[in-house]
Amino acid sequence: MKQKKILIVDDEPNIVMSLEYAFKKKDFEVFIARDGTEALEISNKQKPDLILLDIMMPEMDGYETLKRVRENKDLAHTKVVFLSAKSKEKDVEKGLEMGADSYMTKPFSIKKVISDIEELLA
Amino acid sequence: MSNYAVGLVIVLYLSMLFVLAYFAEKNKRSKWTNNPYVYTLSLAVYCTAWTYYGSVGIASSSGISFLAIYLGPVIALPLWIVLMKKVIRISKQHKISSIADFISMRYGNNRQLGALVTLTCLFAIIPYISLQLKAVSETFSLISGKVSYESSVFFDDSTFYIALLIAVFVAFYGTLSTDTSDHRKGIVATVALESILKLCFFLVIGIYITFYLFDGTSDIYNQASLQENFEQLTSFGGVENGFNWLFTICLSFFAIFLLPRQFHVAVVENDNESHLRKAIWLFPLYLLLFNVFVIFIAWAGNISLPETVNYDYYSLLLPLQENDYGLALMVFIGGFTTVISMIVVSTLSLSTMVSNNIVIPYGFIKTLVEGNPEENTKRIKNIRRIAVFLLIIIAYFFYIRFSAQLSLYSIGLISFLIIAQLAPSFFLGLTWRRGTARGAEMGILIGLAVVFYTLFLPIISKAAMPELDFDIEGFFGYAWLRPAHFFGLDYLTPESNAFFWSMSLNTIGFVGLSLRTKGNYRERNYAEMFVNHENYGNLQEGGFIWKGEAYVTDIKRLLSRFLGEQRTNRALRLFNKKYNISETEERADARLINFSEKLLTGSIGIASAKILLASVSKETPISLTEVLNILEESKETKANNKLLREKSEELAAMTQQLKAANEELLIQDKLKDEFLDTVAHELKTPITSIKAASEVLEDENMPPELRNRFLENINQDTDRLSTLIHNILDLEKLSGNRTELDIREYNMSDTVKKAIKGVEQIASKKEVKIKFSNKEKVFAFYDEDRILQVLTNLLSNSLKFTEPHNGRIKILLENLDNEVLVAIEDNGRGIPDEDRDYIFEKFYQSKNQNIKKPKGSGLGLAICKKIVESHKGAIIVDKNFNTGARMIFSIPKQQ
């Protein structure tokens, strides 16, 4: 089985560090982006299978990033999952409406995140 | 002087009045035509040729009794003001345009009574007008040196042409508008001017005679006292004479209310009730001035002129005797002026009464109903114009026929006597609810009959059948039926006798019949509204009681016959709006009937308006109790409506306030929601981090150095969490003004140095230099811990945003008169323009709320601002500083 590529986009280094460690442990190929702009650059190069996307970030926010990813034909197979502290029902609805494949809220359980994502990529 | 020259002067003078009337009419709204002085002066139309010439005549033959006719109005003026207020209010409310309208309206809008009052006025005023013509004619022949009219036929007579000229003047200006409740500013302004002219001219001639022809008043007195009848001329006489005085005073008091021309200028033309207040002193003053020289002119005439001349014209004859033609002409013009103003106003009001109370209701109404609006306007105007002409012509012939037998003074008294017959129904009508139309008619008829018998009969019989002298022998030989001495009251003058008996019998007839008959509901309705006017004054259309069936379309059709389509539609639209009635309403109610009646009243008079409306509606009678109930109800409704309106206005205001408060709350609420959202988010981030790290740490195979890093992360995030919580609580404390500041005197330099010391370690680590060169001591009162917090926060921000190694931070301290100013500047990346206004808000995030602000708690500057403000100071970003950021705060030295 080919190694899955995952791009983690978040501006909080401590959270990213934990996620990176956990995903690598599960044999994912992990890429890190600090904001939306960086995320798009890496996506273009690496064509990740899945992007784990924060919403509130400096410069370009998660919504805009998702929109750009969806516009890119090369990334047609890339799944996008929001991982945000915005946990109200309407935030979740909005995220899914914008075309995210799943919406997970912070704080989260890493085990749950990984199992959901594995399921999504199966 | 040739009579052509005098004729030319008259024509010139009349054309001047034409022009004046024209301009006054054009400038209706101007202050010149709408002021209490014009109003009071127009009241002086009371002074006619009777005053101008006749007073002198009466003073020269019967002494000071001429004064009675002016004392009446002067004595009665306070009462006049009180009653006038009521009369004016009622008249305005009911669109009343004449005394006939007023009286007939009071008695249930009775057509017959209106006609009777009009006839009474005609009887009274036609001789009065002829008196004016007599004066003009006689003075005209005196000044032009011609013999008087009697030798010539009327088209040879200059008086006839003068009368025609006057008729043209009135017909043209008085009938410009068909709505008689419209004001005629042009006429009123000319009347006011004429009042000034006649007074001035009379005073000039008085002064001329007293001080130029004689050596002042005492000279005249001394010379006059040598004359044989002087005693009689200066005494008031005994008891009998006292009665005569009393009656004359009463008579003139009635006249000032009831004469059609007085009613016209005082009530119909009144446009501001407050004008009455000026009249209360100005009008008596006017009358007084007019009478100052009367007695001296009379004495002077008695002294210098032969007994054969007409003593009425002493004021003209005296200058003529001295060959002072200029002055004589002035006196003549003055007299002509008084005549003009009297005739103009009298014929104007009479023609309205004749057309509205006799011609239209008794003959023309059918034609009018069938005609279109333009034709109707023309017809109504023509009726009035013809009436004006006829009145003056009839007066002219009356003068030809009777004036030889009568002096000016006696014609004037006859007029007053006839008009006084309206007094019982007018005055009692205002105060006594029981008075009925039939009673009023009866009273007036009896009074007229008595006047005719006691005064006219002797005059007519003397003129027609001089041989039949029943004034001395009495009717059928009965001495108590002698007209001038009815029931044997021998000591009264014929006029006082007539007054006494006519008024007594008139009043008895009126009261007696009123008590015996019961008026219909209309009469009682209006009686209630007139007598207790102040109760219903503001009821407007609601005060009129009417029950029956009528349709809006019929009424509309009727109205447009007189007002035209456009005006009718506009009036009805306004009406519907005022009473909140639907445009599609088919049935007419009492208010519409009353409203339409008022609209029509202006054009065709009250009587005809009622007839016309009755023709398009089916009225059912109502009982008196119903009338009173409805009046009471509408009064209550009115009061309730007013209360409701006030309440609803209050409510509206309160709703507005509540709305504003609610909006404020909503904003506050939204801000609070946003704040809580942000706080939640800010708290979630370190918690998420801690939770994730601890989960990862469960892996026992993790290399120790990595494990240490995760543990370090947890430590960091815990600190972040506690700082955040501390700041939130701090901000809340500052926002609620619950902080107790520990204020003492400190040296700001020391405080700054302490702050620098606090961040020194981080600065040196980052190799950022902090410069503070002020050595001066700046003392001020503040809470040092709090100000230290501000300084530390600002310094930390600067440290955060400056580059390592070459970062520079500079602190400036300024010692101003009353405040201390601290500026902290750095060479970092600065604050973007669009963010400057918001950085002091808690958790401020740039325009897009999903974009994160730079690192930090997001509360630091908000806390700084609160602290500075709690010291009554201010904190700002310096906009002019471009090479980094410069924050400035100031606090007053004394708290």
Token pair 């979740």: residue: A92
* Phi/psi of residue A6, nearest 5 degrees: -125, 135
**Which whole number is the average pLDDT over B744-750?**
92
Tell me how crowded residue B515 is: count the other CB atoms within 10 A of its CB.
Answer: 12
Judged by CB atoms closer than 8 Å, whether chains meet at A57 and B688 is answered as no
pLDDT tens digits for B16-57? 877 887 777 777 667 666 788 888 888 888 888 878 888 888
pLDDT tier at B849, thresholds 50, 70, 90: very low
pLDDT at B645 over 70: yes
Residues 6 or more apart whose CB falls under 8 angstroms from that of B605 comprise: B97, B101, B114, B180, B352, B355, B356, B357, B360, B361
Pairing of strands A79-84, A50-53: parallel
Closest by Cα among B675, B682, B784, B786 to B730: B786
Confidence of residue B405 (pLDDT cuts 50, 70, 90): low
Q: What is the mean pLDDT of residues B83-101?
A: 85
Instruction: Give chain B positions within 8 Å (CB) of A21.
Output: 696, 699, 702, 706, 710
B700 touches chain A (CB under 8 A): no
Helices and strands (H and E) in chain B: how many: 36, 9
**In this complex, do A15 and B709 lie within 8 Å of one another by their Cβ atoms?**
no
- How far away is chain A from the Cα of B834, in angstroms, using its nearest Cα? 15
Q: How far, in Å, are B305, B414, B423, B442, B834 from residue B103 at the CA level? A: 48, 21, 10, 14, 81
Residues in chain B with CB shorter than 8 Å from the CB of A61 are 848, 850-851
Check residue B579 and give its pLDDT: 78
Instruction: Find out if CATH 1.10.287.130 is the number for domain B629-735.
Output: yes
The DSSP H or E segment spanning B694 is helix B624-696
Q: Do B681 and A108 touch (CB under 8 A)?
A: no
d(CA B14, CA B378): 26
Tokens of B424: 């019982």
Amino acid making up residue B309: V
Contacts of B689 in chain A (CB under 8 A): 12, 14-15, 18
Window 841-880 of B: residues touching A by CB (8 A cutoff) are 848, 850-852, 854
pLDDT score of B705: 92
| Domain regions of chain B by residue span | 3-404, 538-622, 629-735, 744-892
Region of poorest pLDDT, from A78-92, B50-64, B255-269: B50-64
pLDDT, position B626? 65
Of B5-9, B115-119, B420-424, the range with the lowest mean pLDDT is B5-9
The span from the CA of B525 to the CA of B109, in Å, is 10
Contact A15 B685 (CB under 8 A): yes
pLDDT at B851 exceeding the cut of 60: no
Q: What is the residue-wise DSSP string for B756-820? A: HHHHHHHHHHHT-EEE----S--EEEE-HHHHHHHHHHHHHHHHHHSPTTT-EEEEEEEE-SSEE
Residue B872, Ramachandran bin (φ over 0: left; ψ between -120 and 50: alpha; else beta): left
Phi, psi of B514 (to 5 degrees): -60, -40
Across the interface, whether the CB atoms of B693 and A55 are under 8 A apart is answered no
What is the overall mean pLDDT for chain A?
91
Contacts of A85 in chain B (CB under 8 A): 680-681, 684-685, 688
Q: Which residue of A has its CA nearest to B687?
A: A107
Per-residue pLDDT, B228: 64
Smallest CA–CA distance, residue B878 to chain A, in Å, is 25
Mean pLDDT score across all residues of chain B: 80
What is the CA angle B568-B572-B574, rounded to 5? 120
Q: What percent of chain B has pLDDT over 90?
A: 14
* Nearest CB to B696; choose among A18, A62, A106: A18
Contact A56 B852 (CB under 8 A): yes
Q: How confident is the model at residue B412 (pLDDT cuts 50, 70, 90)?
A: confident
Of the two residues A113 and B838, the one the predictor is more confident about is A113
What's the pLDDT score for residue B177?
Answer: 57
Asked whether the bond before A58 is cis by omega within 30 degrees of 0, the reply is: no
B707, with CB counted inside 10 A (0-12, 13-18, 19+), is middle
Name which of B692, B713, B850 is nearest A55 (Cβ-Cβ). Answer: B850
Q: Tell the residue number behind the tokens 């749950």, with chain if given.
A: A112
Query: What is the tens place of the pLDDT at every residue in A23-36?
Result: 999 999 999 998 88
Q: How confident is the model at residue B611 (pLDDT cuts 50, 70, 90)?
A: confident
Spatial neighbors of B59 by CB under 8 A, at least 6 apart, are: B66, B233, B294, B295, B297, B298
Label residue B878 left, alpha or beta by phi (over 0 means left) and psi (-120 to 50 means alpha): beta
d(CA B684, CA A106): 7
Distance from CA of A51 to the nearest CA of B (A): 18
Select, from the ranges B23-27, B57-61, B399-403, the one with the highest average predicted confidence (pLDDT): B57-61
Structure token pair of residue B23: 């301009």
Q: C-alpha B643: how far from its chain's center?
A: 24
Tokens of B44: 């002086």
Task: Please name which of B68, B840, B173 lies closest in space to residue B499, comparing C-alpha atoms.
Answer: B68
Q: Does the beta-carbon distance from B850 to A109 stay under 8 Å?
A: no
CA distance readout (Å), A117 to A76, A88, A114: 17, 21, 5
Residue B545 CB neighbours (<10 A): 22
Question: Which residue in chain A is spatially nearest to B848 when comparing CA positions?
Answer: A61
pTM score, two decimals? 0.61
Q: Which of A9, A21, A53 to mutate to test the interface with B (most CBs of B within 10 A)?
A: A21
Q: Grade residue B188 by pLDDT with cuts at 50, 70 and 90.
A: confident
Q: pLDDT confidence of B150, banded at 50, 70, 90? A: very low
Query: Cα–Cα distances in Å, from B62 out to A77, B232, B244, B493?
Result: 131, 8, 12, 12
Lowest mean pLDDT among B20-29, B276-285, B804-813, B883-892: B20-29
Dihedral sign for Cα B356, B360, B365, B367, please.
negative
Phi-psi region of B794 (alpha: psi -120 to 50; beta: other; left: phi over 0): alpha
The tens digit of pLDDT for each residue in B765-802 reads 889 999 988 778 889 999 998 999 999 989 988 888 88
Confidence of residue B544 (pLDDT cuts 50, 70, 90): low
| For range B842-850, the mean pLDDT | 51
- B777 vs B62, higher pLDDT: B777
- Sign of the C-alpha dihedral, residues A17, A18, A22, A23? negative
The one-letter code for the residue type at B517 is T
Identify any residues that bridge with A31 across adjacent strands, giving them in sequence order.
A7
Q: Which class in CATH covers the domain with range B3-404? A: mainly alpha
* ipTM (interface pTM): 0.94
Domains and CATH numbers, chain A: 5-115 (3.40.50.2300)
Q: Please tell me which residue, A28 or B618, carries the higher pLDDT value.
A: A28
In this structure, the strands spanning A102-105 and B548-550 are unpaired
pLDDT given at position B847:
40
By three-state DSSP, how is residue B746 classified?
Answer: strand
Q: Residue B149: its pLDDT value, please?
A: 43
Q: What's the confidence (pLDDT) of residue B633?
A: 64
How much helix, strand and coil, in percent to the nearest 5, is found in chain B? 75, 5, 20
Residue type (1 letter), B100: A
Give the pLDDT band (50/70/90) at residue B360. Answer: confident
- Would you identify the CATH topology of the domain B744-892? Heat Shock Protein 90 (3.30.565)
Tell me the sheet residues that pair with B781: B745
When pLDDT is averaged across residues B343-350 and rounded to a whole number, the result is 87
Q: Do B681 and A85 touch (CB under 8 A)?
A: yes
